[in-house]
Amino acid sequence: MIQPIRLFGDPVLRQKAAPVTDFDKELRRLVEDLTDTMLDAPGAGLAAPQIGVPLRVFTWYVDGQPGYLVNPDLTLSEEIQDGDEGCLSLPGLKFDCRRALSVVARGFDMHGEPVVIEGSELLARAIQHETDHLDGILFIDKLDEASRKAAMKQIRESDWFGLAKPIVKVSPHATFGLGR
């Protein structure tokens, strides 16, 4: 099911996501929702925090091939690539961003089975970008000072800036005066 994508300014995008511990029906539904939302957007990748779920899961769609990874751990090449990068949580923004040229990503599938994904160029860029999301890092954080300043100016002038409003949920459990 297609989910709303959280925009820059939403606090969930700056939080470190929790590791997945339950490889269950809900996780399979999350992977399906991420994939549907990413393809609808369309984008080259989408991390769970971008739809408001603070778990270490992301999807990608590169060269006509969809994929996903749970609880990723990356090994990056020393070789570097520069290239345009954008983000579904920062609509319309594209800047040259430096990344490792290739990556070996270890993690799990939605059933808890170990997997290894090796990629270079665009796939490596997508995997690094989405893994950064799981650590609360946005691609604009990786830009040089002048580019970051230009990106922030573009963000402030965008139609969507300021639309991200934190969603406050009321706990259904007793909080004993420690919150809502």
173 domain residue, yes or no: no
pLDDT tens for residues 88-136?
999 999 999 999 999 999 999 999 999 999 999 999 999 999 999 999 9
5 domain residue, yes or no: no
List for the chain the helix, strand, coil content (%; round to 5). 30, 30, 40
Residues labelled as active-site residues: 130
Q: How many domains does the chain have?
A: 1
> Which residue did the predictor score with more confidence, 176 or 47?
47
180 domain residue, yes or no: no
CATH of the domain at 52: 3.90.45.10
119 domain residue, yes or no: yes
Residue 172 has pLDDT above 90, yes or no: no
Residue range(s) defining the domain that contains residue 139: 11-157
C-beta separation of 57 from 30 below 8 A: yes
162 domain residue, yes or no: no
Amino acid code (one letter) for 36: D
Contacts of 54 (CB under 8 A, 6+ apart): 12, 15, 17, 18, 48
pTM of the model: 0.88
141 domain residue, yes or no: yes
- Indicate the average pLDDT of the chain: 91
164 domain residue, yes or no: no
Q: What whole-number distance in Å separates Cα of residue 167 and Cα of residue 98?
A: 33
Structure tokens at 164: 């991200």
What pLDDT shows up at residue 123?
97
Q: What whole-number distance in Å separates Cα of residue 69 and Cα of residue 67?
A: 7
Residue 168 has pLDDT above 60, yes or no: no
2 domain residue, yes or no: no
Average pLDDT of span 12-17: 95
What pLDDT shows up at residue 113?
97
